[in-house]
Each structure stands twice: as structure tokens, then as C-alpha cells.
Chain A
Amino acid sequence: MTAASDKRAAQWVLALPTRFPAPTAWLVSMGVALSLLALFLVSVGVLFAQGPGVWGNNIPVGWGFPIINYVWWLGIGHAGTLISAMLLLLGQDWRNTLNRFAEAMTLFAVTCAGLYPILHLGRPWRFYWMAPYVSTMGVWPQFRSPLTWDFFAVLTYLIVSTLFWYIGIIPDLAAARDRATRRRWQVLFGLGALGWRGQASHWQRWQQAYRLTAAIAVPLVVSVHSEISLLFAAGPIPGWASTVFPPYFVLGAAFSGFAVVSMLTVWLRWMLGLHALVTPRHLDMLGRLTLATGLMTAYGYVAEVFAAAWAGRHEMATLTARVTGPYAWSWWGAVLLNFVPLQLLWSQRARTRPLVLLLVGACATVGMWLERFMLVVTSLHHDWLASSAHRYVPTFWDWSLFAGTIGLFLTLFLLFVRLLPVISAFEVREEAVEGGGD
């Protein structure tokens, strides 16, 4: 691609919200999203009215869909920050076309994730007891509990990734403001841009802030999902108490995240006609990332099997139960969907085919959900005592709430697509001028 084409593309990106190319496709998607969102509201209403009993959870499986979906969403929510922060530090310029909406995806995924721990509570209206505030009871949170860690981790992650995304979009908002002709767009972008005027002294500080945040965000991502893994690994439950968990979870998270990014990329590329910007090279790179993280996740599976093999009878029993037990479908489903289609990505031709990338991404997304199901349910439904083993069967309301949060995610994402520059135009331009210039 040439610098000139990139410049045009950049201007065109900034003009996207004001001259939206695909109103119909957008409206249709939005329709779907909103109907799912309505389902979400209904499910939450029923839940609050009757209590967590509307789900399939029981003793021993006190954690069901809410925790499964929580981990799943949070995992997805790790790709955006990883892509933009890590690749930024590694100086991978091709990220510039992906990071903006990848980060947006992160925000919305983390939002969905963050809802679950609250909805999951027996007394959701008391969730703030997890925060250290000066209460009339004089009691504080229990800082040795993985849940308290998660509370801080998710909160921090949400704030940091929001800020990272926001300072990243400010220059584009400024540019869009200046290009906008309609008053309402000028005001919208103008307020968002905080009066950015591209002054060199600002740019200099901006770069410090942006790169430092990126540098901090990478370990943050790792820490957050490590702590999610401790939510399980800190308990004495066979199939959980494993030192493999933190890296295993982080890689799985990145994998699922990249899978979703791949899907969104293909979708946006098609819907908004971003072919000039999202070139086969980008698809190729995404494919490589997905493949790499996928293989690492596969290694995690293997490591877990080995760990179980010498970790004693209970661990082995759990492993056998996972592979052959009543929920074997979740284990095999995870293995097949995660790693079999993945192998297509060894070939460059496959990687650069949008449809292939989309399908592999979809498989991995479902597969990683199955993995979370497998982790939670197979371990709990038959843990130590034979007597306390009991089946777990999700109910309609389990599924509806899950679908509902997907609706919430889509709604937010579609609004973002409609209202804001989905691609970092100034970075594209920078790449064009400084990359293409020499």
C-alpha cells in the first residue's frame, strides 16, 4: 500500500461517523443487539425478584453460568489491551488499524464480565460490602480472599483500559472535530477531544503517558487473569488446585480475545468496507497471533494433564471424569473447537481468507467458553466425597442472561462503531508518512 492511499484512508475513517457507509447493516445488527439487551433486562428482573434459585446452580455446583461467563468475558477482554499495548511497545505498526476497536471491545467485554460477579451474589444489593468503606458495622473486606483481589483487579483493569483507550482516541476526535461540518458532530467530537490542538509540547507529554500506560498495561493484563485463575487455584478442589493455572488462564484469555478480535475485524471490514486499511497483511498477522496463543493454550492443556497425572488420586479422578464423565462433551468440545480448526491457520492462504479467520475465531470463542464450563462444572459436580456429587443442569434463565450480556456487548460496540472513529487515523497517517515516507 502507498502512503497516499493511507492518507486518504485515514481521512475517510475520520469521516465514517458523519457519512456512515452501511446504515442498513448497522440497523439490522442493532436490532438484534437491542432485542438481546431486552432479554438481559428481563433476566435480571426475574433474578432479582426470585433469587439465584432461578438458575441451575446447586450444592455442590454453587458456581455455574455466572462464573463461567465472567471468566469467559474477562478473557475476551484481554486481547484489546494486549494488542495495542504490547504491539505498540514492540513497534508493530500494523496494530494501528486494529487497536482502536480492539480496545473498545475490551472495554465492553470487561463491562459484561464485571456485571456477573454482582448478579451472581445471593444478595446483590450488598455487593459494596466487598469494598473497604467506613461502615457502621466496623467490619472490613477479607483481603486474603481471591474474590477481594478480583474486585480490585477488575476495577483497576476497567479504569486503566478505559483511560488508555481514551487518550489514544483524543487526537482523532480533534481531527474529526475539525473536519466535521454539522454542529452536533463538532460539539460531540469537540467535547471528546478536550480541545486537543496537536501542539508539539502536548504530543511530547502525550507520548510519554501513552507509552508508559502501555508498558504498565501489559503486566496488568497478566496479573488480572492470573488472579482470576487464583479464584479457582486457591481452593482445595481437585482440578483447580494447580500451579499451572495462572499462565494457563492468561494464555487462554489472550487466545479467546484474539479469536474475537479476528471475528470483529472481518465483520467491520465487510460492513464498513475497510479493505484499504484492513489488508490481508493484517488478517495474516491476526491469524498468526491466534495460532500462537492457541498453541500455547494447548500446551496448557497438556501441562494440566501431566500435573493431574502425578498429583494423586483425586486429581486423576477429576481428570478421568472430565474426559469420560457426564460432562465429557465440554472437555472434548473445548479441545476440538479450540485446536482442530486452529490448525488451518498454519497456511498463509487460509489466514488471509476473511471467512476462514471468522470461522476459526468463532470456533475458538465457543471452545473457550466450553473450557470454562468444563473447569467450573466438572470440578465441582463431583469433587471429594462421592456422597456430595450431584449433576448440574443450567436453566432457561442461565442461558437468557448469557445471551443478554452478549446483547449488551453488541449494543455498546455498535454504538462505538456508529459514533467514533473505529481506526486510529493519526497513527495510520504517522505510519504512512514516516513508514511510507522513507
Chain B
Amino acid sequence: MWGRRTAQVFPPAVDTWVRLGTLAAAVVVLGLALGGWDYARSAYVTRVGWVRDQPVPFSHKHHVGDVGLDCRYCHTGVEDSAEAGLPPTHTCMTCHSQLWTGAALLEPVRRSLASGQPIHWQRVSKLPDYVQFNHSIHVARGVGCVECHGRIDQMPLTARAEPFQMKFCLDCHRDPSTRLRPVALVTRMEPLPWSEAERRAYGLRVMAAHRIDPKVLDNCEICHR
């Protein structure tokens, strides 16, 4: 019937298609929004759980979990410096001059010592350059290593445990009470034998004692300078 001049430009199917199309468009838009929201928080962006190739497959699980080294044995700066610091080759060799002296895995370490060239570690817990994080004050207030670095003692290969995004920092800065622990136990990995209520009660006492005011803790200049 398209032959004769008529106003009927479209077959009935068009209406169906248009309605379906509108629906589809709505779904797509919604999908993109949710997808984007999810992507920005996904491990792909935050690198949470990603293991990076290291010159030496160093196992925190072995050294911390099994051997029982304290974090501060290698990360010596953590208590009095902004940076926890990576151990110099000498620190590795304090033990490995006696243990596993011939292990192929440790060849890069020995080479480093011999050549004086540092070991090229790949940083796992890297904050953006515009964030000024200070380890010492967090340790001094009893923020456990595990709060940010996770159960490092269970990581055969080291991976980022938390999304180092602003929201992550803010959550703690706005309510530190449940993340505080006795300073003596900051490097301890296993969860404390405390109920949530006990933790909060303790945290609140610490905050009172040290005049920690969450209202000013989320100010820009605390981290950005």
C-alpha cells in the first residue's frame, strides 16, 4: 500500500522497535552509570589484590607469618619517619649470608650486594604524589599495619590490600575509634580478641587521651600540601 500517497510512513513494527529502543537506551545509560561507578572502585583501578613481578619473589607470609620477623625489622623508618622505608640489601644479608646462601632465588640480592646496585623492587603500596602520608604518627597513635596493608603475614606474594583512594582514608579519619589498638601491638597481624564494642571503647579512650578530633581530621591539609 506504500504505492499511494498516504501519511502512514511507518509499519506497525516501528512502534514496537521504538519502544524497545527507548527501553534499551534507558538500560544502557543506567548500565554505564553503574558500570562506571563500579569500575572506579574495581580492583583494576585500585590495584587491590594485584601481585607485581618482583626481582625476588619475597614472601611476607614466610618472613612474617612463619619466621615471625617484626615489620620494623626491615621497615625501620615506620616509627619515626614519614616513610616506612625498604630494607637495604645489608638487612637481607644479615640472615641470608648464613641461610640459603646458594639459593638461585636470592641471586639478585647477592648481586646487589656485590655490585652496589640497589634491588629494583616494584612498589605495591604507592600513594599518589600529592598525598603526604606519614607512617610515624599513625603508628604512634596505634593504627595497626594491618588496617591498611591487610594480612601481609598471609601473602606469599605481596599485593595491595586496600583501595588507596581518598574515601578509604576518609572513612578512618572520620571514625578512627575502631581502628586503634595498643601501640605495642601495631605490627600484630591476627585480629585482637576484642568485641567491636571493646575496640570502640578503647579507641574512644585513646582519642580522648590524645585529643584526636575527627572533625578536623578530614581537612584537606592533613594529607594534601
Is B95 interfacial (CB 8 A cutoff)? Answer: no
Q: Check A190/B167 contact, CB under 8 A, given A134-B37, A136-B41.
A: no
Residues of A close to B5: CB separation below 8 A: 181
Partner of B40, one of A136, A138, A178, A197: A136
Which interface residue of B7, B163, B166, B170 has the most chain A CB atoms within 10 A?
B7
Q: Which residue of A lies closest to B5 (CB)?
A: A181
As a 0/1 sequence over residues 173 to 197 of chain A, the CB contacts with chain B under 8 angstroms (1 = contact) are 0000110010000110010000101
Which residues of chain A have C-beta atoms less than 8 A from B40's C-beta?
Answer: 135-136
Interface size class of B (residues with CB under 8 A): 10 to 19
Which residues from chain B contact A1 at a C-beta distance below 8 Å?
none
Within A134-151, the residues touching B (CB, 8 Å) are 134-139
**Contact pick for B170, options A138, A178, A186, CB 8 Å:** A138
- Residues of A within 8 Å of B166, CB to CB, are 136-139
B103 within 8 Å of A by Cβ?
no
Contacts of B163 in A (CB 8 A): 136
Residue of A nearest to B220 (CB): A139
Within 8 A of A (CB), among B14-53: 15, 37, 40-41
User: Do B165 and A178 touch (CB < 8 A)?
Assistant: no
Alpha-carbon gap, A197 to B9, bound state (A): 12
Contact of A177 among B7, B15, B170 (CB under 8 A): B7
A178 contacts across to B, CB distance below 8 A: 7
Asked if residues B9 and A190 are in contact (CB atoms below 8 Å), the reply is: yes
User: Cα distance A177–B167 when bound, in Å?
Assistant: 54
CA of A273 to CA of B41, assembled, Å: 59
Complex-state Cα separation, A195 to B166, whole angstroms:
50
Instruction: Answer yes or no: B10 CB below 8 A from chain A CBs.
Output: yes
A137 to chain B, nearest CB (A): 4
B122-179 residues with Cβ-Cβ distance < 8 A to A are 163, 165-167, 170
Q: Which residues of B contact A138 (CB under 8 A)?
A: 166-167, 170
- A181 to B3 alpha-carbon distance, docked (Å): 11
Report which of A137, A177, A197 forms a contact with B165, defined as CB distance below 8 A.
Answer: A137
How many angstroms from the CA of A134 to the CA of B9 in the assembled complex?
44
Q: Which residues of B contact A136 (CB under 8 A)?
A: 40-41, 163, 165-167
- A177/B9 in contact, CB under 8 A: yes
Q: Restricting to B169-222, which residues have a CB under 8 Å from any CB of A? A: 170
Q: With the chains together, A393 CA to B10 CA distance in Å?
A: 58
Supposing A136-B165, A137-B166, A137-B167 touch, asked if A187 and B9 sit within 8 A by C-beta, the answer is yes
Find chain B residues with CB under 8 A from A195 CB: 10, 15
| B170, closest chain A residue (CB) | A138
CA distance A195 to B7 in the complex (A): 10
Output the residue of A137, A138, A139 with the most chain B CB within 10 A: A138
Q: Are A190 and B10 in contact (CB under 8 A)?
A: yes
- What separation, in Å, do the CA atoms of A150 and B101 have in the docked complex? 68
Task: Please report the C-alpha to C-alpha distance between residue A195 and residue B15 in the assembled complex, in whole angstroms.
Answer: 10
Supply 18 A–B pairs (Cβ within 8 Å), ascending by A: A134-B37, A135-B40, A136-B40, A136-B41, A136-B166, A136-B167, A137-B165, A138-B166, A138-B167, A138-B170, A139-B166, A177-B7, A177-B9, A178-B7, A181-B5, A187-B10, A190-B9, A195-B10
B residues contacting A by CB (< 8 A) are 5, 7, 9-10, 15, 37, 40-41, 163, 165-167, 170
Besides A138-B170, A181-B5, 4 other A-B contacts (C-beta < 8 A): A136-B163, A136-B167, A137-B165, A187-B9
A-side interface residues toward B, CB under 8 Å?
134-139, 177-178, 181, 186-187, 190, 195, 197
| 5 A-B pairs with the lowest CB-CB distances in the bound complex, closest first | A190-B9, A137-B166, A136-B165, A186-B9, A178-B7
